[in-house]
Amino acid sequence: MSYATQKLAEEKVFKDPVHRYIHVRDQVIWDLINSREVQRLRRIKQLGTSYLVFHGAEHSRFNHSLGVYEIVRRISDDIFHGRPEWDESERLVVLCAALLHDLGHGPFSHSFEKVFALDHEEYTRKILLGDTEVNEILQKVSTDFPTKVAEVIAKTYSNKQVVSLISSQIDADRMDYLQRDAYYTGVSYGHFDMERILRVMRPLDDQVVIKSSGMHAVEDYIMSRYQMYWQVYFHPVARSAEVILRKILQRAKELSASGYKFEQPPTHFLSFFDQSFSLKEYLALDEGVLMTYFQLWMTERDPILADLCDRFVNRRLFQYVDFDPGKDYKKLGELAELFRSAGIDPEYYLIDDSTSDLPYDFYRPGEEEERLPIHLLMPNGDIKELSRLSQIVDAISGKRRTDYKLYFPAELLIDGKKTAIKQQILEMLREGGV
């Protein structure tokens, strides 16, 4: 028996709050789960800073990766198994891609990527193809197997059905994280009838379609997605924490470049500041490392770094106001000037943030060939785009909704110093000036 088809003597199961059990029979999958790079995902939270708003949201990318694997395993082994349109030989590559799709995420992934101009997909590829335990395991399947898995995750693989299962507008990734994030945040949104969706999924030509009889289950999924975005993913307080996190990393980078003598030198970050980091250094970072630095930097001499770290660690977050850039963008410069006059650096304490800065999206049917929409398979064999048949989906996917906020430290504006200027700032912020 080859390594690719080797089974465990006994099936292993992981107890899971979303899928009840996650089943592993393949030796390859078991070995991958036990690799250093996959275990590292236990130390990276799935929802970044959302735990500062939803205290239960401490779940990791490891949980999510297992969940995506389990959904794809069920599709491959139960739903698609035996269907002539599905190529059974793709089973192992799609299972591995599902398990490994988030491998390249760094600590507090989104903020970290923004500050250091990184792309986690690129690091997923480097981990799959580089000198890693994951690569060693995949190589044992065949020499070209790591590249195949990397291509599926990068969405450039030749079999589009395989790509669609991992990454499309209704894929295993989204189906897991919506349910998992709803469970761990404790919100009542995010739940939908996944069993029904799985039962009506069909491989067809170069995509995965949904039988039209399952349209209402898909409507439910789209609504869950929409509500989770506004209630959880775009939550303004979690965004406040993200803003502070970004500014901590930016400040540390700037201080390092200026020759500032840290009491606790940013040893783990130095190669990131000058973009010279190796894969080994990338993999050495996790949220435990970052939080340790933030704890230690709370007593740094630099008042801005110390203050920002204290805010993040002790949840003294920035306040926010809604902001309409269309009307008020000119006043931002004026406001920044007033911050400077008040002795508060606007670069670190006056920050605008919009939903386009966040790594989540709504369902949009879009234009032809812009991005693959959700397609329904009609009883006569025709294919129809979802929003053309569903009034509910049409109603929410056609409407634009954006959210712009301005973040600032409210208590610094009422601390009794330079009160006249600060009063002017507060009036601008709170009385419609911006």
Partner 1 sequence: MLQGHAKIVDFIAAAEGVTGRKKLQKMIYIMKKLDIPFQEKYEFHIYGPYSEELTARVEELCDMGFLSETLEDKGSYVQYKYSVTEEGQEFRKVLGESILDNPLTAGKLNAKSGRFLELTATLLYFDHLNHQDQIDKLHVVKGKLNFTAEEIDEAFAFIEELSS
Residue type at 178 in one-letter notation: L
Site for partner 1 in 22-81 (CB under 8 A): none
Applying CB under 8 A, among 43, 140, 202, 364 the residue interacting with partner 1 is: 364
**Which x/- pattern, by CB under 8 A, does the window 366-385 give for partner 1?**
xxxxxxx------------x
Cα(4)–Cα(145) distance, rounded to whole angstroms? 10
Q: Out of 119, 144, 274, 415, which residue is the one contacting partner 1 (CB under 8 A)?
A: 119
Which among 170-178, 295-303, 356-364, 422-430 is the span making contact with partner 1, rule CB under 8 A? 356-364
The stretch near partner 1 (CB under 8 A) out of 130-138, 148-156, 255-263, 281-289 is 148-156
**Least Å distance between CB 383 and partner 1?**
10
375-434 residues in contact with partner 1 (CB under 8 A) are 385, 388, 400, 402, 404
Binding mask 187-226 for partner 1 (x = CB under 8 A): -------------------xx-------------------
Tell the smallest beta-carbon distance from residue 9 to partner 1 (Å): 39
**Can you state the angle between helices 91-100 and 145-154, rounded to 10 degrees?**
60
Q: Work out whether 337 is an interface residue with partner 1 (CB under 8 A).
A: no
* Minimum distance of partner 1 from residue 262's CB (angstroms): 29
Number of other residues whose CB lies within 10 A of the CB of residue 307: 21
61: closest CA among 177, 164, 163? 177
The stretch near partner 1 (CB under 8 A) out of 192-200, 246-254, 295-303, 353-361 is 353-361
Residues from 265 through 284 that contact partner 1 (CB under 8 A): none
- Asked if 44 contacts 105 with a C-beta cutoff of 8 angstroms, the reply is yes
Contact 104, 125 (CB under 8 A): yes
Interface segment toward partner 1; rule CB under 8 A; list 38-46, 159-167, 173-181, 314-322 = 159-167
Name 288's Cβ contacts closer than 8 Å, sequence gap at least 6. Answer: 43
Tell me which residue of 279, 233, 210 sits closest to 110, measured CA to CA: 233
**Which positions from 288 to 327 touch partner 1 by CB under 8 A, shown as an x/- string?**
------------------------------------xxx-
Contact 49, 311 (CB under 8 A): no
- Per CB under 8 A, contacts with partner 1 among 85-104 are none
The answer to whether 131 contacts partner 1 (rule: CB under 8 A) is no
Which residues of this protein are in contact with partner 1, per CB under 8 A? Answer: 119, 121, 154-156, 158, 160, 163-164, 168, 206-207, 324-326, 329-330, 332, 336, 352, 354-357, 361, 364-372, 385, 388, 400, 402, 404
